[in-house]
Amino acid sequence: MGKFVNNTEEFFVYCKENEVKFVDFRFTDMKGTWHHVTYMLSAVSASSLNNGFPFDGSSIDAWQPIHRSDMLLKPDVDTAFLDPFTADSTIIVFCDVYDIYKGEMYEKCPRSIAKKALIHLSESGVGDVAYFGPENEFFVFEDVKIIDKANESYYRVDTEDGEWNDGATIEGGNMGHRARTKGGYFPVAPIDTGVDLRAEMMQVLEQVGLEVVLGHHEVAQGQHELGIVFGDLIEAADNVQKLKYVIKMVAHLNGKTATFMPKPLYGDNGSGMHVHQSIWKDGKNLFYKQGEYGNLSDMARHYIGGVFKHARAVAAFTNPSTNSYKRLIPGFEAPSILTYSSQNRSASCRIPYGAGEKATRIEMRFPDSTACPYLGFAAMLMAGLDGIKNKLEPVGPMDDDLYELELDEIRERGLPQMPHTLRGALEALVRDYEFLQPVFTKDMVDTYQHYKFETQVWPNEARPTPFELKTMYSC
């Protein structure tokens, strides 16, 4: 698993060996959306790979103005892999965005920001590599209907797993084997209907260079997870883009639809992106200290303290949708209290069980997959480094079930919490962004929070919902 090519020369050899006809250059916007432009292989040369490919930056949301729209895609050829879904042999290459006006990496390119975060880590002297291991949960549905009009609002998602289908008329008969609400964790077939679909996903993920460990049905109805091996910050974020692409495409080609939306089902568990993290230097895991709580070093604890101190602002990047906060409510394995604990899944930061020196790490459990992975990982790293620099102590450890705490008790004990809305996260980012600099420029942060207000917060707040009509129409 891993790289298929290491340099430009190997790139062209690999293309020849695989009879490649097209090169698909891909880059990521601030939402985390993958964009692409496809070139004939015959139009791609070693010099063009080095110099970059022009594109219109004004056509990407919240990027360049139309009078300064020319930008360059700078390919990383060592990220190349064959697209497993195209009819003609096509090779995909990750790209960074280059600002021709300033002569530097584009300040609003998420992948470039993540690279700057790694440079900052190295220059700080703290470590030379940051490892990230995301766990992206997702739902698979058979049917999705959406209506969003001035006088009508409606959605309906359907999965054969759903207990609401107990009385449905199904061609060939209704077999009745279904996981119940919050009952989907690890049942075998026929309750688990996703065995073959996940197996296909896992095999295709290995084809594109990911090292896959496991796959299983998750707690909610129609919910799944595939586990892949961790990587450094850039590799891990690249792998999230690969994983989401493969999962969506395999589902699509099987007549189903996959979504990484955090909370598509009311009353059942939502999907998170738990992120394992550690910092290393000279081959040594700096988060490990034998005999301490969870075998965590002071540095690891201070890293947690930094993430928690800035968590409300960090959430603008790790939980960047209005739907994110429908997941972060007690009782659904989505932690909102900012404390840490060994093995306790109700804490925002968990220390995984049984980790030796090489495997000791922290697991932030609040992020979700609506995050642009480059921005989410970089924001957590920058917050953690601030915690290390200032020796910040997190609240905890707390080993009891935090979901059992009443709101009054949380307030009385002064336990810090995640923001309850995207508006709250963005307003926190406005007040608290200096820890992100110089990696995240002020212009980038300003553009990001304005864009999220305009495209997420205000449209969401302006819309009446079916629940509001149900509870207020007769008031």
| Catalytic residue check, 137 | yes
Look up 135 and say whether it is catalytic. yes
Residues 62 and 157 in one domain: no
Q: Residues 209, 318: one domain?
A: yes
Annotation says 29 is catalytic: no
- 416 and 308 in a common domain: yes
Our answer to whether residue 218 is catalytic in this structure is: yes
Told to judge if 363 belongs to the known catalytic residues of this protein, a careful annotator would answer: yes
With CA atoms as reference, report the closest residue to 339 among 406, 401, 276, 416.
416
Residue list for the binding site for Mg(2+): 135, 137, 218, 225, 274, 363
Q: Does the residue 118 lie in any domain?
A: no
Active site residue 274: yes
Domain shared by 359 and 463, yes or no? yes
Among the listed residues 26, 274, 301, 423, the single catalytic one is 274
Is there a domain that residue 111 lies in? no
Q: Which of 96, 161, 218, 368 is catalytic?
A: 218
Residues 81 and 167 grouped into a single domain: no
Q: Could you tell me if residue 196 is inside a domain?
A: yes
- Catalytic, 35? Answer no
Which of 21, 37, 45 has its CA nearest to residue 95? 37
Structure tokens at 219: 């707690």
Of the listed 83, 107, 268, 363, which one is catalytic? 363
Indicate if 59 and 203 belong to the same structural domain. no
CATH code, domain with 135: 3.30.590.10
Residue 26: active-site member: no
Of 365, 386, 423, 427, the catalytic one is 365
Q: What pLDDT is attached to residue 1?
A: 59
- Kindly state whether residues 83 and 208 are assigned to the same domain: no
Where is the domain boundary, 45, 73, 106?
A: 106
Instruction: Evaluate whether 292 touches 146 at the Cβ level (below 8 Å).
Output: no
State how far the alpha carbon of 365 is from the alpha carbons of 81, 130, 135, 322, 360, in Å. Answer: 30, 18, 9, 18, 16
Q: Which of 36, 180, 216, 345 is catalytic?
A: 345
Of 107, 137, 238, 368, the catalytic one is 137
Same domain, residue pair 365 and 325: yes
Res 2: pLDDT: 75
Q: Is 431 a catalytic residue?
A: no
pLDDT, position 336: 84
Q: Is residue 211 part of a domain?
A: yes
List the CATH number of the domain containing 77: 3.10.20.70
**What pLDDT, on the 0 to 100 scale, is given for residue 65?**
86
136 and 97 housed in the same domain: no
Domain boundaries, position 400 = 129-472
* pLDDT attached to residue 332: 62
Cα dihedral across residues 419, 421, 424, 429: positive or negative: positive
Rounded to two decimals, the pTM is: 0.96
Q: Are residues 88 and 136 in the same domain?
A: no
Number of domains in the chain: 2
Q: How distant, in Å, are the alpha carbons of 97, 200, 234, 256, 370 from that of 374?
A: 13, 27, 7, 28, 12
pLDDT of residue 398: 83
Residues 317 and 179 in one domain: yes
Annotated binding site for ATP: 276-278, 345, 358
pLDDT at 393: 96
- The phi and psi torsions of 214 (rounded to 5 degrees) equal -160, 170
Q: Averaged in consecutive runs of 10 residues, what is the pLDDT profile of the chain (475 residues)?
A: 90 98 98 97 97 94 90 97 98 97 95 98 97 97 96 95 91 90 90 96 98 96 96 98 98 98 95 97 96 93 98 98 92 78 83 84 96 98 98 88 72 85 98 97 97 97 95 95
Cβ atoms of 363 and 372 closer than 8 Å: no
Amino acid identity for residue 384 in this structure: G
The pLDDT value recorded for residue 355 is 66
Do 87 and 229 reside in the same domain of the chain?
A: no
Residue where a domain terminates, one of 74, 106, 138: 106
Q: Is residue 116 part of a domain?
A: no
Whether residue 119 is contained in a domain is answered as: no
- CA 382 to chain CA mean position, Å: 17
The one catalytic residue in 225, 268, 368, 386 is: 225
Q: Which residues belong to the annotated binding site?
A: 135, 137, 218, 225, 269-270, 274, 276-278, 327, 333, 345, 358, 363, 365
